[in-house]
Amino acid sequence: MNFRIYAALAVGLFSAVSANAAGDAAKGSTIANQVCLACHGADGNSPIPMYPKLAGQHPEYIAKQLKEFKSGDRKNAVMAGMVITLTPEDMDNLGAYYGSQAAKGGTAKSNGKGSVGEKIYKAGILGLGVPACASCHGPAGAGVPVQFPRLAGQHADYTVAQLQTFRSGERANDAAKMMRMIASKLTDQDMAAVADYIQGLR
């Protein structure tokens, strides 16, 4: 099965579970300030590199991840505890809130223009069958609403950690195993380079 077929399956599966996602940003703000602030920041721009920035993320993606933390389809001991009292409506409201917040950019440490990180992001690794990240997440990392998450400005530490969990199979909530297939072909150096480039995307 080639990458285009994987992508088509992923779009269909993600759309099926997310097409009806909606939420109330004001109610989500209340929950965020009670439950999420310490790790993700008041506006979703987490100041802690190990925790993801949520500001500007597609609401449907956030709601999907929260629901999968609760169901166990996505494994994370910390998040499993955080979502235990949240209802599906709460999760949609959090998605709406964080999606409405302005994302703050980051800066790449060494993977700017012409770097290995840029090459992987924009062109993939042809000899290994690794597709360009940009083919799903967009040239500027904005993602595609409903189908693929925003990456621009995300902490490199967090991105590397997620790629590693996809590679190990610890994280397995990617549609059609697409991210697991990609991550399995990346070295630690590849992951660090592309994550650093993503951190600097705006």
Structure confidence at residue 146 as a pLDDT band (50, 70, 90)? confident
- pLDDT for 14 equals 46
The pTM for the full model equals: 0.90
Distance (Å, whole) CA 200 – CA 202:
6
Q: Where are the alpha helices (DSSP H) in 56-155?
A: 59-71, 77-82, 88-99, 116-123, 134-137
Question: What is the token pair recorded at 102?
Answer: 């302005």
The percentage of the chain sitting over the pLDDT mark of 90, rounded to a whole number, equals 88
Q: Does the pLDDT of residue 15 top 60, yes or no? A: no
User: Does pLDDT of 6 surpass 80?
Assistant: no
User: According to the model, what pLDDT value does residue 16 have?
Assistant: 40
How does the average pLDDT of the chain come out, rounded? 92
| Residue that the structure tokens 């993801």 belong to | 52
Cα–Cα distance measured from residue 69 to residue 75, given in angstroms and rounded to the nearest whole number:
6
> Coil, strand, or helix at residue 4?
helix
What's the token pair of residue 185? 């072909």
Beta bridge partners of 144: 148
Residue 22's pLDDT band, with cuts at 50, 70 and 90, is confident
Domains present along the chain, CATH in parentheses = 20-99 (1.10.760.10), 105-199 (1.10.760.10)
Assess whether pLDDT exceeds 80 at residue 181. yes
